Amino acid sequence: MAPSSTAEEARQFVAKADDEFRRLLIASSVAEWAKQTDITTEHEAAAAKAGEELMTFITRVIKESRKFASALDQLDADTRRKLHLIKIAGQPAPDDPKQSAELAALATEMDAIYGKSKVCDAAGACKDLGALEDILATSRNPAEQLAAWQGWHDTTGRAERDKFVRFVELANAGARGIGFPDVGAMWRSGYDMSPEDFQAETDRLWNQVKPLYSQLHCYARRTLNKKYGDKVVSKTGPIPAHLLGNMWAQSWDYLYPDMEPYHGVSKVDVTPALQQQKYDAVKMVKAAENFFVSLGMNPLPDSFWERSMLVKPPGKEAVCHASAWDVTYANDLRIKMCIKPNHEDLVTIHHELGHNYYFANYYNLPVLYQQGANDGFHEAIGDTIALSMTPDYLAKVGLLDNVVKNDKAVINQQLRLALEKIAFLPFGLVVDRWRWDVFAGKVTPAQYNQHWWDLRKQYQGIAPAVARAATDFDPGAKYHVPANVPYTRYFLAHILQFQFHRALCKKAGFTGSLNDCSIFGSKEAGSALKAMLAMGASRPWPEALKAMTGESQMDASAILDYFAPLSAWLAEQNKGQSCSW
């Protein structure tokens, strides 16, 4: 075959694949939206069928694309890029049709188990995840918190364990069928570098921020020890997982009232204002939309308000876990969330709209390019905007008054954010570090739960307060595991959002301390952001990063710049303490 005919055949192949991929993605997305917003047997079956068809197509088109592997140097850059994205397009199906159908069914069943899971007492009174999370966030009774934590982990995880074991077997069969040793290696191949180099890259980034996390952990453990005593929290060991205000101990911001360095110096939680001003779900989303519009972006389309799920539908089972969608890949923007009028949900809405505005800026591209430069980019956009929710900004929009500006106020504000952002970093690594080992066969099903807690102790300094058994499946208590959503993207997003923030603040002409910068209203920052969003995945992520930041390597130094005041304060507070676990 002549080079010219090979190049033309490849162009036709990727164009046809893109068209078919779009059709099947839309069908799967429509079915999945129906299932997640109204969990019924019929919707589960429809989602499984659409998911199976998509997986089967992905498997076939990846295998067919291999015929061009030896001729890549004859192809134009656009065709090569699309062939690369086809190779990592999604979860492939096993070659056996029966196994393919089983894999799709298992994925749907685990997702539904999670969405419908409740913890019921002897009297038949049941609590869903939202109610249990409220207990962890607001109760300061360790026994009550432990009951909520243990109930969710026991009920949800155990129901998924055997299904997940089989899921791993089938998902790996699909990955091997397209040339990867396992699913984890396939995931790590999606970052424009080798799987080995990507793992080393995450190690490098973690080592940049690990000292700051260790200082935060040390301060938090000492505060909890003073509150609960040695019998509940050791002065030197890991922190019990149920005491950190969050079901997975991934975010500790609900503990801020207990850990506030300078009581009453500055108010950084807008929950009281949201409730006093009667913010409902729509008004909260409008507030977040207003920020994006201030940067020069379009208002959300009318269809967003008609089709989104902003509260749990009455009389229906639904997955309340927040997510953003372009259901038909044509600016059909929506979010799915059970919004509560509190500070945390206001930040989450900014996060989800970040996805929506990414969709809105690239939806005219071929569907293969309708994704982030890497998946960490997609997760970082809304959180970058949320970093601009400074006290000055919150005062400007009427959610804070009497903004205090002094060193003590800065420490208070930084600690609150660190309890959310810095506390998350090791958890952002653990979920996939565990799965990489599971998919690679380094741990057996009998070791799944122990390995989960070994990693959580190693990276987070967290441990369960009660003995956990090999028959438990505590990773399944986290949505992304049964839903098979890669998780390292969130770790990357927590690095990238500060790097993005630093760059956009420069674009906006801000020259003060990074933690005091808000890009609200800056058309210059908005223009730079939109230019990167519009690229989608059309170029390797280092090029997209450089286009906005001038840097081609992910870099956690912006986190250290942002939290420099808190880092110095924590080091002073922890003098003489043993900060290991």
Q: Of 67, 1, 71, 38, give the one whose Cα is nearest residue 319.
A: 38
Structure tokens at 271: 């929950």
Residues annotated as catalytic are: 321-322, 351-352, 355, 379, 480, 490
pLDDT at 69: 86
Residue located via tokens 């911001």: 253
Q: Examine the pLDDT at 33 and tell me if it is beyond 60.
A: yes
Task: Give tens-digit pLDDT for 432-454.
Answer: 999 999 999 999 999 999 999 99
pLDDT confidence bin for 401, thresholds 50/70/90: confident
Residue 331 to residue 309: CA distance in whole angstroms:
16
Q: Are 239 and 579 in contact (CB under 8 A)?
A: no
DSSP 559-572: HHHHTHHHHHHHHH
Average pLDDT, the chain: 95
Q: For residues 244-270, give the mean pLDDT.
A: 91
Q: Of 478, 486, 487, give the one whose Cα is nearest residue 160.
A: 478
Cβ neighbours for 222, distance < 8 A, ≥ 6 positions apart: 235, 574, 577
* β-bridge pairing 323-326 and 333-336: antiparallel
Helix, strand, coil shares of the chain, percent, nearest 5, are: 65, 5, 30
pLDDT confidence bin for 1, thresholds 50/70/90: very low
Task: Give tens-digit pLDDT for 59-71.
Answer: 999 999 989 988 8
Q: Examine the pLDDT at 191 and tell me if it is beyond 80.
A: yes
Q: Are 537 and 85 in contact (CB under 8 A)?
A: yes
Q: For residues 235-263, give the mean pLDDT.
A: 95
pLDDT at 402: 80
Task: Give tens-digit pLDDT for 375-391.
Answer: 999 999 999 999 999 99
Structure tokens at 315: 């009389």
Its CATH architecture, for the domain 115-278+290-297+354-581, is Orthogonal Bundle (1.10)
Which residue(s) pair with 334 in the sheet? Answer: 325
pLDDT at 5: 77
Q: For residues 175-182, give the mean pLDDT.
A: 94
pLDDT confidence bin for 79, thresholds 50/70/90: very high
Phi and psi for 230 in degrees, rounded to 5?
-65, -30
Strand ranges (E), 176-263:
239-240
* β-bridge pairing 462-463 and 126-127: unpaired
The helix/strand/coil state of 314 is coil
Residue 185 to residue 59: CA distance in whole angstroms:
16
Residue 333 to residue 391: CA distance in whole angstroms:
30
pLDDT at 4: 61
Q: Examine the pLDDT at 525 and tell me if it is beyond 50.
A: yes
Q: For residues 488-513, give the mean pLDDT.
A: 97
Q: Is 469 exposed, middle or buried (0-12, 13-18, 19+ CB in 10 A)?
A: exposed
Task: Give tens-digit pLDDT for 337-377.
Answer: 999 999 889 999 999 999 999 999 999 999 999 999 999 99
pLDDT confidence bin for 81, thresholds 50/70/90: very high
Q: Examine the pLDDT at 474 and tell me if it is beyond 80.
A: yes
State what percent of residues in the chain have pLDDT above 90. Answer: 92
Angle at which helix 564-573 crosses helix 195-228, to 10 degrees, equals 50
Which residue would you say has higher pLDDT here, 266 or 110? 110
Q: Examine the pLDDT at 2 and tell me if it is beyond 70.
A: no
pLDDT at 57: 94
* DSSP type of residue 323: E
Q: Are 261 and 574 in contact (CB under 8 A)?
A: no
Q: For residues 299-326, give the mean pLDDT.
A: 96
Q: For residues 15-31, give the mean pLDDT.
A: 97
